[in-house]
Structures are given as structure tokens and as C-alpha cells.
């Protein structure tokens, strides 16, 4: 049995005849468009079945359209062009496939009221695991957010990066916020917990956690009790910060990035969530196989107890667009870095 609380997630059997985009790309768009149709049909059912809720239904439609309508119209146009049909024909195909799947059995007035009360958080802001992937697709195609991604954050479309219970976190729970449309991947290298990437892949950031005490223990399993107590003490944090939050270490860090050329660099000492830290910015060229990419690194280094934390932002360009991409993404990366909360500190 399906209800409006489990909004339609449909894989549409539509073959898009495009040479420039793969089928999954168009399948994702159709899923997101289908999601929006399901939302509106659910609202229409509520309005027809419970007329006293019609005013709230109208407000919900307005909120949804304000957030997504322009983008959805463009997505429908793109799908129609790819299929070489009109937008109206595309909409008709969707309706033919989706309408038979609708089932509002069991949608009582209380269920309808819950749907409306949670509408903004669930159906617009993506704070619901049954809707978030479709909302991410819509946001990823929003032309305003593509040209000015920081507005996605300002408009409240954000997700929380959480390292709690991750095997690479060594017990450290970090929270950050980033645009909702960005995709998450597991880190492939040691100590990298996650990698998040912008929808078109020209900006990303990694979350790295290294437990220095654990590393020292692996090097020397026979640490004395006095050494163990020291590495777990406040004094070790101070000493670690004195060693790593420095210009000398910034230079070591920059060399570790593997840039073939360095065009500019700067660093400054600061604090993140009250902890000693440093911002490092480097512009240069990075080589990967036969590809050279101009890249801007914006990284934070933070020391907390015996942990080394690095949030590493990367802005890419294959052409001569790096400065434009920096202007576009630097506010986003700065927002991500500044959003750091070390939850262990406040427990």
C-alpha cells in the first residue's frame, strides 16, 4: 500500500536519444520531475477530499513553486528536447506512467494534516530520506545555484556532514554544513573520511582526521604510562599546535599537495570552534596523468586534543576559468570551513 507519506519514487522507462548525456542523467531528471508531479497530485487529493485544508494546500503549492518551478520547467524542456517531442507530450507520457500507481488509501485527515505540517521540511528542504535525493537533483539543475552556489546555502538548502561512528573518524565527531545538492563519497585514501563534490564536479572538499596518539602508538606500541598520559593531555594539544600551526608547517603542507607549479600562496593563523587552526590558500597547477588542471586549494588545519583535522577545499578548472570559479566557489568553501563544530568538545 502506498500513501502520500511515501511520495512516489519512480524509475521511468523513457529512452532519451541524446549523444551528449548518458541515460542515467535523463533518468534522474525524470525521477525528480515525477517526484514533483506526485507532490502536486497528493496536494490535489487533500484539497478535494478535505476542503477545509484547501488554504494550506494552496500555500504549500506556492512554496513548492517558489522553490522549484523555474528549474522544473527547464528540466521538462530539456527532457522533451532530448526525446524530440513537445513538453506537453512529455508531461502526458509521465502522467500515463504515474497515475495508475497512485494509491491514497488510508490517507486520513490526520495523515493529510501531518503531510501539510511537514511539507516544507520534507518536500522542499529535503529533511526526509524518502525525498532528499529527488530534491538534490532539482537543486543541481537550478541555474541560479549553478552560477552562484552560495545562494543555495543562503536559501537554506543545506546538508550536515557528520563523522559520528565512521571507522576513519577515530571516535571524533565533526559536523559541517554544505550545499544540499553536493554529492557525498567515501574517502579512498587513509584518514580521509568523506569527499563532497559540486554537481558539475568543478569544486570539492575532503574531511580528513588523523589521530596523532594512535599513529604514535602504532609506531611504538610500548609507550610508557607517562608518555601515554602526555599524549592524551592538554599539554600535548598545545605542543602539537605550536608545531603544526606555523608558517613552517604551512610550507610542508603546500609541498605535500603535489603541485607542478605554484602561482600564489598565503596562510594565516586563526581558530575554528575555539581551537587553534590555520587557513592555507594555494593556487597552482596539478598534473594527473596527461591532464593538467589549474587548482585553488583552500584548506583549514585544526588541532583538537591529539587529533589533526584538515578540511580541504579544491576549486578546479580545465580551461582558463579558474579565477571565475574561485569567485563562484570561494564563499561556499569559506562557509563550509567556518561551519565546523567539534561535537566531542561540547559533550
Q: What is the pLDDT of residues 330-344, one digit of tens each?
A: 999 999 999 999 999
Give the CATH H-level superfamily of domain 151-346.
Mog1/PsbP, alpha/beta/alpha sandwich (3.40.1000.10)
Say whether pLDDT at 7 is over 60: no
Residue pair 332/268 in contact by the 8 Å Cβ criterion: no
Per-chain mean pLDDT for the chain? 91
Q: What is the pTM of this model?
A: 0.89
Give the mean model confidence (pLDDT) for residues 260-271.
94
Which three cell numbers mark 305? 586534543
Residue pair 298/279 in contact by the 8 Å Cβ criterion: yes
Mapping DSSP to helix (H, G, I), strand (E, B) and coil, where does residue 90 land? helix
The pLDDT value given to residue 21:
63
Radius of gyration for the alpha carbons in the chain, expressed in angstroms and rounded: 24
**DSSP 8-class letter at 291:** E
Could you report the per-residue pLDDT of 68-105, keeping only the tens digit for each?
Answer: 999 999 999 999 998 889 999 999 988 888 888 888 98
Say whether pLDDT at 288 is over 80: no
Helices (H), 278-340: 322-338
> So where are the chain's domains?
23-141, 151-346
Say whether pLDDT at 15 is over 50: no
Residues 214, 217, 218, 219, Cα dihedral to 10°: 130
Could you report the per-residue pLDDT of 27-71, keeping only the tens digit for each?
Answer: 899 899 999 999 999 999 999 999 999 999 999 999 999 999 999
**More confidently predicted of 1 and 279:** 279
Could you report the per-residue pLDDT of 182-215, keeping only the tens digit for each?
Answer: 999 999 999 999 999 999 999 999 999 999 999 9
Residue written as grid cell 572538499:
205
Give residues with Cβ within 8 angstroms of 167, minimum separation 6: none
Give the mean model confidence (pLDDT) for residues 99-124.
93
Amino acid at each position: 500500500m502506498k500513501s502520500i507519506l511515501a511520495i512516489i519514487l519512480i524509475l521511468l522507462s523513457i529512452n532519451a536519444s541524446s549523444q551528449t548525456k548518458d541515460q542515467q542523467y535523463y533518468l534522474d531528471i525524470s525521477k525528480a520531475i515525477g517526484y514533483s508531479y506526485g507532490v502536486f497530485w497528493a496536494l490535489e487529493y487533500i484539497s478535494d477530499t478535505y476542503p477545509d485544508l484547501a488554504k494550506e494546500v494552496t500555500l504549500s503549492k506556492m512554496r513548492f513553486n517558489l522553490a522549484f518551478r523555474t528549474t522544473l520547467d527547464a528540466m521538462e524542456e530539456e527532457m522533451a528536447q532530448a526525446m524530440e517531442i513537445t513538453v506537453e507530450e512529455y508531461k502526458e507520457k509521465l502522467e500515463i506512467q504515474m497515475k495508475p500507481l497512485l494509491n491514497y488509501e488510508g490517507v486520513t485527515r490526520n495523515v493529510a494534516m501531518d503531510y501539510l505540517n511537514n511539507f516544507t521540511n520534507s518536500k522542499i528542504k529535503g529533511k526526509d530520506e524518502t525525498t532528499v535525493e529527488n530534491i538534490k537533483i532539482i537543486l543541481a539543475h537550478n541555474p541560479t545555484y549553478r552560477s552562484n552556489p552560495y545562494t543555495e546555502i543562503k536559501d537554506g538548502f543545506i546538508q550536515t556532514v557528520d563523522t559520528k561512528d565512521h571507522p576513519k573518524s577515530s571516535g571524533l565527531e565533526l559536523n559541517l554544513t554544505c550545499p544540499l545538492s553536493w554529492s557525498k563519497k567515501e574517502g579512498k585514501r587513509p584518514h580521509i573520511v568523506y569527499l563532497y563534490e559540486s554537481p558539475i564536479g568543478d569544486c570539492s572538499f575532503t574531511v580528513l582526521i588523523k589521530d596523532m596518539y594512535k599513529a604514535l602508538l602504532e609506531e611504538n606500541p610500548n609507550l610508557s604510562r607517562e608518555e601515554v598520559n602526555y599524549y592524551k593531555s592538554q599539554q600535548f594539544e598545545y605542543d602539537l599546535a605550536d608545531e603544526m600551526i606555523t608558517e613552517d608547517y604551512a610550507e610542508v603542507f603546500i609541498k605535500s599537495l603535489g603541485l607542478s607549479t605554484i602561482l600564489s600562496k598565503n596562510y594565516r593563523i586563526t581558530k575554528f570552534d575555539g581551537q587553534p587552526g590555520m587557513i592555507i590558500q594555494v593556487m597552482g597547477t596539478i598534473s594527473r596523468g596527461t591532464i593538467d588542471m589549474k587548482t585553488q586549494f583552500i584548506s583549514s588545519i585544526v588541532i583538537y586534543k591529539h587529533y589533526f583535522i584538515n578540511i580541504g577545499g579544491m576549486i578546479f578548472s580545465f580551461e582558463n576559468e579558474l579565477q571565475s570559479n574561485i569567485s563562484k566557489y570561494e564563499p561556499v568553501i569559506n562557509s563550509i570551513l567556518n561551519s565546523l563544530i567539534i561535537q566531542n568538545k561540547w559533550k
